[in-house]
């Protein structure tokens, strides 16, 4: 058994692999990571990653840069750039020259920003994509820093834009912020929990000239990469 355990700042994810195939996966809030570990499996088969990787049982702890590369290439061996939009930070990894940039200074361009907006509208974050698709135009939003964006949202709502149009505009502003971090590339893969929001994928797709790829389970890519790394370690033992 090869176990990848990704304990990020917002959620914890586990992927079990056997013979190169994923046989189990699960996501829980980060503080409940213990629910993902079975004592009988022991830590000798676990590779951990994510912000809290060193705080959880592991045989090896590796960065999300390594796990994202392995996990993304599992889905597309030719992918050039990875954009990982997590709960508290966004990472852009250029696989052509092994460089990366990270934005973790404020909530702009992270899941936390969209959670703030969803909280303001009193809707689940999972419904933002559907509401985005119902808008035919977007309200102009320029700020992606939490409180400033909320006051811009309110002013656009007062000015007559609908909730759907404001959400569309927020996604545009978010995508612009992301696009500024992404180098020109043929293929860009979006991963992380936030890209389950189809509005974000749509907005990024409209913003970049690259072919945009979203794997089946984008939130699990780093845990998958960690499980693949464990598989390599086990193969070489
Ligand atoms: P991290 O690894 O940094 O803990 P994740 O990659 O697990 O973060 O992403 C967590 C983010 O994904 C949260 O901000 C959450 O709001 C967002 N998210 C989770 N599910 C959905 C969904 N269905 N639609 C939109 N966003 C989602």
107 lines ligand 1 (CB under 6 A): no
Residues 83 and 112 in one domain: yes
Residues 128 and 202 in one domain: yes
Longest dimension (CA), the chain: 65
Residues 43 and 113 in one domain: no
Ligand 1 atom with minimal separation from the 89 CA: 3
Residues 122 and 35 in one domain: no
Residues 62 and 24 in one domain: yes
State whether residue 29 is helix, strand or coil: strand
Residues 172 and 187 in one domain: yes
Residues 183 and 128 in one domain: yes
Task: Give the CATH number of the domain where residue 205 resides.
Answer: 3.30.420.40
121-151 residue pLDDT tens: 999 999 999 999 999 999 999 887 877 888 9
Number of domains in the chain: 2
Residues 155 and 126 in one domain: yes
The pTM of the whole model exceeds 0.75: yes
Other Cβ atoms less than 10 A from the Cβ of 213: the count is: 17
Contact 109, 103 (CB under 8 A): yes
34: exposed, middle or buried (C-beta count within 10 Å: 0-12, 13-18, 19+)? exposed
80-137 residue pLDDT tens: 999 999 998 999 999 999 999 998 776 677 898 899 999 999 999 999 999 999 999 9
Contact 164, 132 (CB under 8 A): yes
Domain that residue 167 falls in: 78-218
Ligand 1 pocket check: which of 115, 194, 220 to mutate, most ligand atoms within 8 Å of Cβ?
Answer: 194
């Amino acid at each position: 058994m090869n176990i990848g355990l990704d304990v990020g700042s917002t959620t914890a994810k586990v992927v079990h692999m056997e013979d190169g195939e994923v046989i189990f996966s699960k996501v829980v809030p980060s503080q409940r990571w213990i629910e993902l570990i079975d004592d009988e499996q022991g830590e000798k088969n676990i590779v951990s990653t994510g912000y809290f990787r060193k705080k959880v049982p592991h045989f090896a702890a590796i960065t999300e840069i390594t796990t994202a590369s392995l996990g993304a290439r599992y889905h597309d061996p030719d992918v050039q750039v990875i954009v990982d939009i997590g709960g508290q930070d966004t990472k852009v990894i250029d696989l052509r020259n092994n460089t990366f940039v990270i934005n973790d200074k404020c909530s702009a361009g992270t899941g936390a920003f969209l959670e703030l907006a969803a909280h303001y509208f009193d809707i689940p974050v999972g419904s933002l994509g559907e509401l985005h698709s119902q808008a035919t135009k977007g309200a102009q939003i320029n700020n992606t820093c939490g409180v400033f964006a909320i006051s811009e949202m309110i002013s656009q709502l007062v000015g007559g834009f609908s909730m759907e149009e404001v959400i569309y505009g927020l996604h545009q502003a978010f995508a612009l912020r992301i696009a500024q971090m992404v180098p020109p590339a043929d293929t860009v893969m979006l991963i992380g929990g936030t890209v389950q929001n189809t509005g974000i994928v749509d907005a990024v797709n409209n913003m970049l000239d690259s072919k945009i790829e979203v794997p089946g389970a984008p939130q699990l890519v780093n845990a998958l990469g960690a499980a693949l790394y464990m598989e390599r370690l086990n193969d070489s033992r």
